[in-house]
Structure 1
Amino acid sequence: MHHVTVPQTGVYDAWRDAARAHLTARTPPEAILWSRGTEARDLFAADTPPPAKAAQITVPKSFVALARLVVFHSDPERFARLYAALWALQTDRGFLADRGDPRSAKLNALAKEVGRDRHKMHAFVRFRDLGSGSERRRFAAWFEPSHPILELAAPFFAKRFGDMDWSIFTPDLTAHFASGRLTFTDPAPRPDLPGDAAEDLWRTYFRSIFNPARLKPKAMQAEMPKKYWKNMPEAGLIPDLIATAQTRAREMAEAAPTLAPARAEKVVARVAQAQEALTASQDRFHAALDACTRCPLHANATQAVPGEGPADAPLFFVGEQPGDREDLEGRPFVGPAGQLFDRALASAGIARDKAYVTNAVKHFKFTPRGKRRLHQAPNRDEIDHCRWWLDLERERLRPDLIVALGATALESLTGSRKDLLKRRCRMEETRDGAPLFVTIHPSFILRLPDPVQKAEEEARFIEDLRTANRFLSA
């Protein structure tokens, strides 16, 4: 049995060199006992020198990154786990990338815990001023990390506080930075560090960033665990800040300015526009709609096409968008699809002049082909932008039943066009809970090439309208 003792410092380099030597000698993982410094070890095991000649070993970069963290974990098996993984990599190069592999999962978990502990140390070390007998100031701090990470974390402080001399004491090791040189010594008893003016600065800073209106004690303790509080001067403020949070939040709300911010002007203007449109006459409503530039469709269309029908209409039909004829005449459902719709309404016993007919999108979307303008279906953004006007129409009329004619109307009213044919002839609800009946758009029938199928679908559409009328009567 081989025994390898990794020193208190230079941990990664020492483990790497020993692991490389034993891997060269083909020493299996179960034949090595690992320990660090004065960690508990087998009383009868003596250190055995590694083989003298070590070959160059190639491993994935991800393994090196893991190893540089895992060696600083407190798990007594950390070195053995790393060597077992190194041994496995010689025959299975891919296991490390498989997070489902228990070996890979364990190493990644250990590395994550060390990384989190290093982050906490960087954030929560609090130096005390020891005074200075030279040009460089002298500071010291006591910190109790969860893992022996001082060697890993100290370079951060050397870089950040390079203009002063300092010492960081931990139960495992002590770091000293003097005249630009970083050294490590054995652990020392916790020093009695004096308070200084910097503690008041920490308290002032913490009090200023503490937001009582967003207090979440559990989340705060997850980020700043209680184990660190005893070494942080500002932590003494926490109990009182938590106890008075509700009172302070109420005082902040009462002292808040009542003047709306500049960004609210657009919202206020839009609300005013909506209120005016609701109470405006039909002509003024049409004029406001025709001036709409909320989406790009207004640029090429002849005009916006509003809904049509009495203000007390109990039935409210919603189609897709104006077609070529509707765009030119400024009225909904007057083209070929509108003519089929009128026939179906009459056959179903519904008077068109007693119903309100409109579209989900108010401008004609098309692609020019010579002298013709070919219909294009509106996209989600165009439907969403125009829903504002459709909602205003619904609010002005407050009908008893809304009928969605086709997928675009269904998407505008419910948020989804999925499974139109499965939802056909069913009762649903709009986004705001109004009763909604689902059927097809009459243009679907016009596109059918088979005359027999076309006649069958027209008859079925008429029956859909009769069903909607029965729902209305019920």
Structure 2
Amino acid sequence: MSQTIPQTTVTLDHPVDFARWRSATRALVGQHVPPEDIAWHVAPSGTPDTPAPAQAAPPFRIPRETMQMAADVLQSMLPDRFTLAYHLIYAHVTGTAMPPPDLARIEDAADTVRAETAHLRHDLFTLMQRGDGQEAWHATMAATTYAPESNARFMTFQLSLAPWRLALPGRRMEWTGEKLLYGQDDAAPAPIAFGSLPPPAMPLVTDLDIPRITVLPAVALAARTCRICPMARHATQTVFGEGRSDARMMFVGEQPGDKEDRAGRPFVGPAGQLFDRALLEAGIERDDTYVTNTVKHFKFRPRGTRRIHEKAGPEEIANCAPWLAAERRIIRPHVLVMLGATAASALLGRHVTIGRERSRAITLEDGATGVVTVHPSFLLRVPDDAARAREYDRFVADLKLAASLRAPVAP
């Protein structure tokens, strides 16, 4: 019987090069190239990059669960894992069936990767808590899959972006504080991109000990991977806070809106522009503050081509609470300004009526001073010009009150 000779060769940069595998798969599946016509190779250390196929192909969509299954298989050490993962996508797009033995091997491999991911994170926490007093955290770990590579981001976030090294069977990985290095034991490690690695079998924020993260950039990067609540699956992106990590004033709103969701920055839409104007009138420089939201994703309902804002519910607020708590813990503001009832209720831990709580100083448990006021979007909804002007002036007065409560800058 004659053996099929592959017509296409794809060379990957490293053994877990998910990014190049995905790019090649998208091009080749779109052209209905069967799995047996493709040879997958990993470039030896020092070999120049070989471009993956880049032919134009009709667009197609793959369910998140199917793509994650493929990513899980790529973290196994099966010698034909790239072919199996490709066949999984090919079968979905072409409507064909995989041979049952191959499908069973995929499921077994994915189960092994998920189990090792859970053990890996437990072992990592044990090693991290033990510590060795050295500048760069390092450890040696046994592994039967490539799950450690896929969890490189997890380690980096959990260690607050500090340098680390991990020795694995036949290979090693290192984060220098600026770049990720990876290689076999018999060769010098080379830089690889976090984005080239498969998404881990468990979401990055699962098992992440957020209170142990000590720097704001690590919290922000970790939050951008969050897929805990359904909002995260529909929003364009996570909208984390921005501003000074040593800000004396912190402003907290409800959630990003349509403009913020697209831009990836808080308070940049119409309410944000009004907020900026009011800050200036109150003598506050936005660049000297920290601005964020209780909820980090845009909750909306579609109406034609528009996305209509929906109020964040208790579940979304609870899911995002660790991110807000981390921002507050790291920044340690002197004054915490709560913009609207949602933010005030979340931060004070009780139901808040704006009319009853606003325009006064509130001593908070951590020693900071809280001020409750309206959300800037409320001012945009006041229909009467005279009433809107009065409410705006009152809002500015609340901001001036907050500014007066700031502790003086040390000489």
- TM-score with structure 2 setting the length: 0.48
Structure with greater contact order relative to length (CA < 8 Å, sep ≥ 6) = 2
Which has the larger Rg?
A: 1
